[in-house]
Structure 1
Amino acid sequence: MSEMLGDSVNKHFWNRTLKLGWVLWAVSSVAWADDVSDMRYSERPEVVAFAEDLIRQHDFGRGELLGLFKAAERQQAVIDAYKKPAERALRWDEYRPIFIQESRIAAGAEFMREHAEILARAEAEYGVPPEMVAAIIGVETRFGRYKGKHPVFDSLVTLAFDGQERRRAFFRKELKAFLLLCREQGFVPREVVGSYAGAMGMPQFIASSYRAYAVDFDQDGRIDLFDNVEDVIGSVANYFQRHGWRAEGQVVTPATLAQNSQAKAVGRGRTGMKPETPYQDYRGQGVKAAESLADTEEVVLLHYLDGEEDLYYLGHHNFYVISRYNHSSMYSLAAWQLAGMIAERYSQRQES
């Protein structure tokens, strides 16, 4: 009985010790997390390592770079905004009115009138219609009226080191691209403002896109996407061309589904929008296009919820190209529909 009592006491002792150990571990983990969030970015080991890589690979000045990180402030509003973009939370009938508005259509037609010569030159060079370029600029910033108010450097630092774990690698690449862009274009890193995700200027290019696709369309020796409309128009058109825009190509075709159709459609997600299925395959699954399509035309079935009504479209190659600007099927359809309405309004004004 004494041995049993001893075993019971030992078990009780070790159970309490283990529980205490877990509590201390949890408390220390929380304290460590708090310590990290309270530390200046320039004091955090992963930030210092990131900075050292930039210094070694791209010859940044150590003092200047660490000074930037020392001054950087964590942007909680950026973290909160990134968690709930409209594309993931709204139905089509809720999302569409955000961009399809009379004021934006009218402003788009005026933008086309004011910059008709530049838009025509961009179409001649890149094959992208003026209304598509205008619609993108209209969707992104209302033709330059709202370019964002978040400090881009602080936003990217926040998302790169305190944002969603699965996206940190992406934002570290963007942070690197942003610092290189600032050096190339003569920007002061902490003075640049943009969206909560680090997009900049009238067309809201992220840093890597700015470096890869922005063009000096007016050939003044500088690429300015903040205030130079000519560079903005040329850069958006170049972005679309480089992603494979086909002049005169279709974008979407309305479709209907048979009641018992088992065809799988892309909803409001950010993947699966590449048209890789021949129309004849969809037709065999009860999908019918509202217009005549070749059986071999590769398309993707798209689904939108408009209140209680299901809407279906077949997305073509150019729809996929639009989705490279923003990886959302709702964004792509809204931008395309806005483009059509801008073009119609512009034509009406030209005729009157």
Structure 2
Amino acid sequence: MTIRPVLAAVLWLAAVAPASGSFLERDGVRAFIDDVSSRQDFNAAELRGLFENVERQEAVLEAIAAPAEAMPWYRYRPIFITDPRIEGGIEFVRDNSDLLARAEREFGVPPEIVAAIIGVETFYGRHKGRHPVLDTLATLAFEYPPRSDFFRRELEQFLLLARDERIAPTSVKGSYAGAMGMPQFISSSYRHYAIDFDGDGRRDLWNSNADVIGSVAAYLADHGWSAGEPIVHRVRPSRDDWRELTSKSLKPRVDQSDLRAAGLGVEPPVGADERVHVFSLETEAEPEVWVGRGNFYAITRYNHSALYAMAVYQLAERIRRGVETEPAE
């Protein structure tokens, strides 16, 4: 019997009793500290003191077992495509027009896409997260077996980030998965993709709109964003051949001959060497069928979900139209 990943996580969570005592006594914590200290030149005693005060985050374990991306599209979309987020995005673009224009010149990413990602992630900085990142990552690294390897790597990256950026590790708060700042970068992304866009010598994703905007644009560019290229197309198939073109993988694998054989056409047409991703979104009626181009795939590298990328795209379109049509105050 195959259990869906989210269900498996729920069943696992229900079976785990909260552990008591010092977090240092959790299986693997001391070995992790010794390993990271030896490889990354940390003081092992200082790390043990830090982890001695880590508290297990029960709310984090519950939240990660039921992510929003597990919802059907018709329930996911209304969370993000709302009048307040659209109006907030229009305001964000206008208030940061020079920075967004500079980011577009340097990285090719349009202002509305950058704004929409920040809007989806934190409502333009209003909701940066309330969970202590050190405790969150430690909890997931040692008490969430489905993804413990990933979160142990992120925990190590967070310790390095705190050292590199001179941040007190116990002072940082973020999402239930340890994402931080206005754009909700995980630790590894922060270290490798965040940039100092305002030139003050720091990469501040909490308080510097310049660094936030530049970092989001740089991240998308590093993950394949192509300036001026299309993102995604709605198609209306006349038959069911399109279902054979769908895949659980988000990576574009479908070529122009496959699309043609299934009776799917998009404008501009798919190039001879181009690959696209065909997917459907669950509605309360018939499924919507879409064809994602390379730029759609770039958005999914920010969050590995077609629902997420579609929410960003649709919010961006509403922001763009609003900026173009509504007079500035």
Structure 1 and Structure 2 fold alike (TM over 0.5)? yes
Moved beyond 3 Å, runs of 4+: none
State the match for 2:206 in structure 1: 226
Residue among 114, 117, 121 paired with 1:133: 114
Shift of 1:260: 4.1
Q: Which amino acid aligns with 2:78?
A: P
Q: Which amino acid aligns with 1:112?
A: V
Describe the superposition over 1:9-61 as per-residue Cα deviations: whole angstroms up to 9, x where unpaired.
xxxxxxxxxxxxxxxxxxxxxxxx86x82232212351000000111111212
State the match for 1:274 in structure 2: 251
Residue among 118, 121, 124 paired with 2:105: 124
Residue among 142, 147, 151 paired with 2:128: 147
1:303-342 equivalence runs, <5 A: 303-342=280-319
Q: Is 1:43 aligned to 2:20, yes or no?
A: no
CA distance in structure 1 between the aligned counterparts of 2:245 and 2:26, rounded to whole angstroms = 45
Residue among 75, 82, 97 paired with 1:94: 75
Q: Which amino acid aligns with 2:98?
A: E
Contact kept, 8 Å, 1:246 with 1:318, in 2: the verdict is: yes
Shift of 1:292: 5.0
Contact kept, 8 Å, 2:220 with 2:298, in 1: the verdict is: yes
In terms of mean alpha carbon deviation, does 128-137 or 295-304 score higher? 295-304
State the match for 1:63 in structure 2: 45
Describe the superposition over 1:326-351 as per-residue Cα deviations: whole angstroms up to 9, x where unpaired.
00001101101111110110111247
State the match for 1:75 in structure 2: 57
Q: Pick the structure with greater CA Rg.
A: 1
Contact kept, 8 Å, 2:280 with 2:290, in 1: the verdict is: yes
CA distance in structure 2 between the aligned counterparts of 1:153 and 1:66, rounded to whole angstroms = 13
CA distance in structure 1 between the aligned counterparts of 2:280 and 2:240, rounded to whole angstroms = 16
State the match for 2:276 in structure 1: 299
Contact kept, 8 Å, 1:254 with 1:289, in 2: the verdict is: no
Q: Secondary structure at the match of 2:233?
A: strand
CA distance in structure 2 between the aligned counterparts of 1:262 and 1:138, rounded to whole angstroms = 32
CA distance in structure 2 between the aligned counterparts of 1:138 and 1:207, rounded to whole angstroms = 20
TM-score (norm 2): 0.91
CA distance in structure 1 between the aligned counterparts of 2:215 and 2:110, rounded to whole angstroms = 13
Q: Secondary structure at the match of 2:28?
A: helix
Contact kept, 8 Å, 2:86 with 2:315, in 1: the verdict is: yes
CA distance in structure 2 between the aligned counterparts of 1:310 and 1:59, rounded to whole angstroms = 53
Shift of 1:265: 5.0
State the match for 2:151 in structure 1: 171
What is the aligned residue count? Answer: 313
CA distance in structure 2 between the aligned counterparts of 1:77 and 1:49, rounded to whole angstroms = 26
CA distance in structure 2 between the aligned counterparts of 1:266 and 1:79, rounded to whole angstroms = 31
CA distance in structure 1 between the aligned counterparts of 2:168 and 2:76, rounded to whole angstroms = 35
Describe the superposition over 1:264-307 as per-residue Cα deviations: whole angstroms up to 9, x where unpaired.
3548xxx51111211221221x2423535146242111101111
Structure with the bigger percentage of helix: 1
Contact kept, 8 Å, 1:42 with 1:67, in 2: the verdict is: no
Contact kept, 8 Å, 1:141 with 1:147, in 2: the verdict is: yes
State the match for 2:5 in structure 1: none
Q: Secondary structure at the match of 1:224?
A: coil
Q: Which amino acid aligns with 1:56?
A: S
Where does the alignment leave 5 or more consecutive residues of structure 1 unmatched?
A: 1-32
State the match for 1:206 in structure 2: 186
Contact kept, 8 Å, 2:27 with 2:142, in 1: the verdict is: no
CA distance in structure 2 between the aligned counterparts of 1:139 and 1:184, rounded to whole angstroms = 28
